[in-house]
Amino acid sequence: MSNTILKAEMLSKTYSNGSIMQHVLKNLNIEIKAGDFTVIMGSSGSGKSTLLYALSGMDKPTLGTIDFKGEAISNYSNDQLAVFRRKHCGFVFQQIYLNDTMTVLDNIMISGLLVSRDKKAIANRAKELLQQVGLSDASYHKYPSQLSGGEAQRVAIVRALINAPEIVFADEPTGALNSTNAVNVLDVMTEVNASGQSIIMVTHDIKTARRANRILYLKDGVIIDELNLGAYRKDDPDRHKILREFLESMGW
């Protein structure tokens, strides 16, 4: 069952700031299987967000190839990439980035309408997902700047899930949430994952990371080690212990 959905080889990303070159990702290889729940951890500035942007086709890598189901998206034109993102990816940004000229519902609709024309169906699904992450009807017609940070984050998560994408990229989706809401969101994610969608998530939180079946540790643009939790049941208390030991060995 475990066929590869996303595969990156020799991935490099270099930013040049004037004359200073910064190699953020260095010859990185990564393979994501359909249905994987992958967590990427690492210290601040290690290149986690950069990696997510590259894998989701939002930023072109400096070197290397990225294959999505055997197609080299790293050769795609900008427009092809846009179509790829709208069809197959969902993205939760670290900085949330909701469109502040639109209401909560419209923010989700714009993503949905890119793929389907069925307004009713999208609106209904949006409302359903909003309920699941703990947002009431009262919030549907608010504007982003009238929301709290946590509420905005949850809207962004719903936006990422609206098209039931094959891969969901989430950059610290629970960072701004209190524990109840974080659990809500993670439950939704886990449910989504259970229905076969892959998740690639960046987090600093061990409780969040515990939900994944695979942990990648990034340091200075290189995946220095990985931990496979797939063998353990979700409620196995050893999961937490093993993860902690792994992270401690990484110098976390």
Ligand X SMILES: Nc1ncnc2c1ncn2[C@@H]1O[C@H](COP(=O)(O)OP(=O)(O)OP(=O)(O)O)[C@@H](O)[C@H]1O
Residues making contact with Mg ion (CB under 5 A):
49, 94
93 makes contact with other proteins (CB under 8 A): yes
Q: What is the DSSP letter of 160?
A: H
19 makes contact with other proteins (CB under 8 A): no
CB nearer Mg ion, residue 49 or residue 56: 49
Provide the minimum distance between the beta carbon of 127 and ligand X in the complex, in angstroms, as a whole number: 31
Q: What is the DSSP letter of 172?
A: S
Residue partners of 85: CB distance under 8 A and separation at least 6: 56, 57, 58, 91
Interface size with other proteins, residues (CB under 8 A): 41
Distance CA 167, CA 85 (A): 10
Provide the minimum distance between the beta carbon of 113 and other proteins in the complex, in angstroms, as a whole number: 5
CB nearer other proteins, residue 109 or residue 157: 109
Among 16, 19, 136, 145, binds other proteins (CB under 8 A): 145
199 makes contact with other proteins (CB under 8 A): no
Binding site for ligand X (CB under 6 A): 15, 17, 22, 24, 42, 44-50, 94
Provide the minimum distance between the beta carbon of 211 and other proteins in the complex, in angstroms, as a whole number: 25
Of 150, 126, 153, nearest to 140 by C-alpha is 126
CB nearer other proteins, residue 126 or residue 186: 126
Provide the minimum distance between the beta carbon of 171 and ligand X in the complex, in angstroms, as a whole number: 7
Among 34, 82, 222, 250, binds other proteins (CB under 8 A): 82
DSSP letters, 41-105, are EE-TTSSHHHHHHHHTTSS--SEEEEEETTEEGGG--HHHHHHHHHHHEEEE-TT----TTS-HH
Among 27, 75, 146, 228, binds other proteins (CB under 8 A): 146
The C-alpha R_g of the chain, in whole angstroms, comes to 18
CB nearer other proteins, residue 87 or residue 241: 87
Distance CA 23, CA 14 (A): 4
- Residue 49 CA neighbour count, 13 Å, CB half: 10
- Residue 131 CA neighbour count, 13 Å, CB half: 7
Residues composing the chain? 252
Residues that bind other proteins (CB under 8 A): 53, 56, 58-60, 78-79, 82-87, 89, 91, 93, 95, 97-103, 105-106, 109-111, 113-115, 119-120, 122-123, 141, 143, 145-146, 159
